[in-house]
Structure formats: C-alpha cells, structure tokens
C-alpha cells in the first residue's frame, strides 16, 4: 500500500514562489521529495535562490517568469511546463499562491485596482487550473491548493478588494472540487492568518513592531506564524492523505482568526489593568483575561 502522506517523486508548480509563503512552500515541497516549478513576477534573483534551495535537496527546479494577471503569460508558462525540453512535462500538484492588490478602502478603489486584483486571483487562477488539469489528468490525477486570506472572514483595514477576489477564489475552489473530482483531481483552499513575513512588514510600515507584539501576546499559541510554519500545512494539503478536504477552505492560523473577539477583550482587560483602571481582585472573581 502506498504512503498517502508521501510526496516523493511528485512534480509541483507554485505560483509566486520567489518570496514569502510561495518560496517557503517550494522549499518545503522539495524537502518532501517534489520537483518544483517556481514562478515569479519581478524578483528574478530571489526566484533563482529558491531554485538553488530546491536543487540542494536533490530535486529538480525550473524557474519561469509569469505575471498571473496576464493570460498570455500563463499560457506561455503552461506551454513550457508541458514540454519536457523546457519543463517537467508532467504535473501532480499546483499551489496557486501568487496575489497582489492595491491596499485601500473600497470607497477609494478605482476600476483598475479591482480589475488587476481579480485578474490575478480569479481570472488568472481559473486559466491556470484550466491549463493544468489536462496535464494532471494525463498523469493520473492531482491536487490543487489555492491560497486564500483571512480577509474573507474578518475585516482587515484596506483589504476590501483583495477580500472580494479571495472570496471569489474560495467559491471557485468549491465548484472546481465538484467538477474535477471524477477526473481524479481534488481542489482545496488554505486560509492562513497573519504570516510574519516581508509583505506584512511592508503593509504595516511603522506599526509593524507594535502589531507583531500584540499578535504574539494574544494569539492562542502565543506566537506569530512564519511562512515556513504555514508551508507545513500547505504541504500537508498537497498529499493524497488530505484528499477528503477537497472543496473545503482549511484554516491554517492556529485559531488566531476565530479568537479575534476574545483577543480584543483580553487586550482591553490587560490594558485597563496595566493602566491601574481596574482592580484585578483576589483571584477568586471570574476573569476575562485568561492564561497569559
Ligand atoms: N502575508 C500574510 O499575512 C498573508 C495572510 C493570509 C494570506 N496571505 C496570502 O498568501 C499568499 C502569499 O502571501 P505572501 O505574503 O507570502 O506574499 P509576498 O511575500 O508578497 O509574495 C508574493 C509573491 O507573489 C508574486 N507575485 C506578485 N504579483 C504577482 C503577479 N501579478 N503574478 C505572479 N506573481 C506575482 C511575487 O513575485 P515577485 O517576488 O517577483 O514580486 C511573490 O513571489 C497570497 O495569496 C496572500 O494573499 C498572506
């Protein structure tokens, strides 16, 4: 009986794998035994470094520039992947990770901001799947993992455009799971919470340190999650063992998003006590603060 938790000998394509979660996923899948197609939009040196890391595990790597908002780029990528002269010639796993948006309130959004965000996460995602499925099917089936975001389930300031695109992505995950199951292809979404990486530091700017401190102190696991942490869950979802998750959106956040209401109360209580505004009592009274 084959080991359904093994990814040994598989071939994976990870979009947006020059940095962040995509890069961590490419490296993790290589350590699990996958050859990896790495794609990027602008950061060619970073993409080459990820390819080196993949090859250092003894697996093969291919690097392709592909702007996921461009159908012609996606078609060129998949042409290259299908051809054994320029790519692996087969595909078992697709991780649709690339995303980009314009972070702004919805009332400030211009049509071009919405169109570009949707071009990557909705139109581009669908084209990638349409091109990848025949290749996966020819190899006996496969798994598609789509990376969503916490903004579909909770308000994150300035995330409205991306949240709408990711919500559409999540809908397509469920529909594709229904359409592709009989062809041996499963489709799952993964919804990370706060990923402690470059993109978050860029988005939060001068508030990053303060926000990271609150995240660490109030998260149920009392830590932030690195791209490598989240990549562990993504890799797990790529295995055959996870095939019954098809059609689901799996949260990979250690309950961080579910806990937001309690974290808010906990923080308010801590701040009130630190300011001396509240007497914590003798310890017998019920407390909303909980273990720290
Ligand atoms: N960061 C978080 O806290 C967080 C939380 C939940 C979900 N997510 C989701 O997780 C995924 C990865 O996030 P991340 O923070 O790791 O991202 P990141 O560090 O900003 O990296 C984004 C990656 O996508 C590529 N990319 C950007 N625009 C692209 C385009 N138009 N076409 C193709 N590739 C493009 C980038 O390529 P270049 O390097 O060449 O620019 C890079 O490899 C995204 O889907 C994001 O929405 C992130």
Q: Are 88 and 35 in contact (CB under 8 A)?
A: yes
The Cα–Cα gap between 130 and 137 comes to 11
Cβ–Cβ < 8 Å for 29, 235: yes
Nearest CA to ligand 1 atom 23: 16
- pLDDT tens string 81-93: 999 999 999 999 9
Please tell me what DSSP assigns to residue 153.
T
pLDDT at position 277: 80
Check if CATH label 3.40.50.300 holds for domain 11-273. Answer: no
Cα-to-centroid distance, 285 and ligand 1 (Å): 46
Q: What SS3 class is residue 253?
A: coil
Closest CA to 99 of 69, 60, 135: 69
Pairing of strands 35-40, 61-65: parallel
pLDDT higher than 90, residue 278: no
| C-alpha 201 – ligand 1 centre gap (Å) | 13
The predicted-structure confidence for 199-258, as pLDDT tens digits, reads as follows 899 889 999 999 999 999 999 999 999 999 999 999 999 999 999 999 999 999 999 999
- CB 154 near ligand 1, within 6 Å: no
256, 194 contact by CB (below 8 A): yes
221 CA from centroid of ligand 1 (Å)? 24
Minimum-distance ligand 1 atom for the alpha carbon of 17: 43
Share of the chain above pLDDT 70, in %: 96
68 CB under 6 A from ligand 1?
A: yes
Q: Where are the domains of the chain?
A: 11-273
**CA–CA gap between residue 34 and residue 10 (Å, rounded):** 5
Query: 117: closest CA among 66, 190, 166, 171?
Result: 166
């Amino acid at each position: 009986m084959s080991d359904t938790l093994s990814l040994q000998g598989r071939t994976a394509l990870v979009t947006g794998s020059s940095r962040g979660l995509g890069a961590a996923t490419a490296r993790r899948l290589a350590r699990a035994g996958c050859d990896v197609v790495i794609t990027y939009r602008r950061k060619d040196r970073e993409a080459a470094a990820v390819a080196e890391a993949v090859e250092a595990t003894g697996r093969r790597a291919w690097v392709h520039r592909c702007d996921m908002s461009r159908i012609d780029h996606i078609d060129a990528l998949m042409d290259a992947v299908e051809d054994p002269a320029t790519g692996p010639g087969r595909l078992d796993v697709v991780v649709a990770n690339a995303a980009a948006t314009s972070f702004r309130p919805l009332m400030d959004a211009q049509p071009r901001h919405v169109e570009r965000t949707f071009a990557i996460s909705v139109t581009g995602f669908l084209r990638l799947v349409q091109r990848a499925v025949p290749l996966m099917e020819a190899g006996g089936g496969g798994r598609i993992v789509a990376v969503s975001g916490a903004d579909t389930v909770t308000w994150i300031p300035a995330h409205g455009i991306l949240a709408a695109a990711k919500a559409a992505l999540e809908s397509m995950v469920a529909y594709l799971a229904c359409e592709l199951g009989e062809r041996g292809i499963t489709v799952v979404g993964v919804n990370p919470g706060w990923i402690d990486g470059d993109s978050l530091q860029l988005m939060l700017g001068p508030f990053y340190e303060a926000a990271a401190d609150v995240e660490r102190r109030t998260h149920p696991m009392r830590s932030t999650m690195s791209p490598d942490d989240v990549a562990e869950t993504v890799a797990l979802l790529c295995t055959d063992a996870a095939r019954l998750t098809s059609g689901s959106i799996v949260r990979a956040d250690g309950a961080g998003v579910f806990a937001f209401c309690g974290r808010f109360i906990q923080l308010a209580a801590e701040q009130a006590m630190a300011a001396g505004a509240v007497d914590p009592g003798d310890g017998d009274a019920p407390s909303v603060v909980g273990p720290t």
